[in-house]
Amino acid sequence: MNKLKITLPIVLIVIATLNLLYTFGFQGEPMSQIEFLSRTFGSLVLVLISIFLLIKK
Query: Could you report the per-residue pLDDT of 18-44, keeping only the tens digit for each?
Result: 998 888 887 878 889 999 999 999 999
Residue 1: pLDDT band with limits 50, 70, 90? low
Contact 5, 57 (CB under 8 A): yes
Confidence (pTM) = 0.79
Contact 9, 54 (CB under 8 A): yes
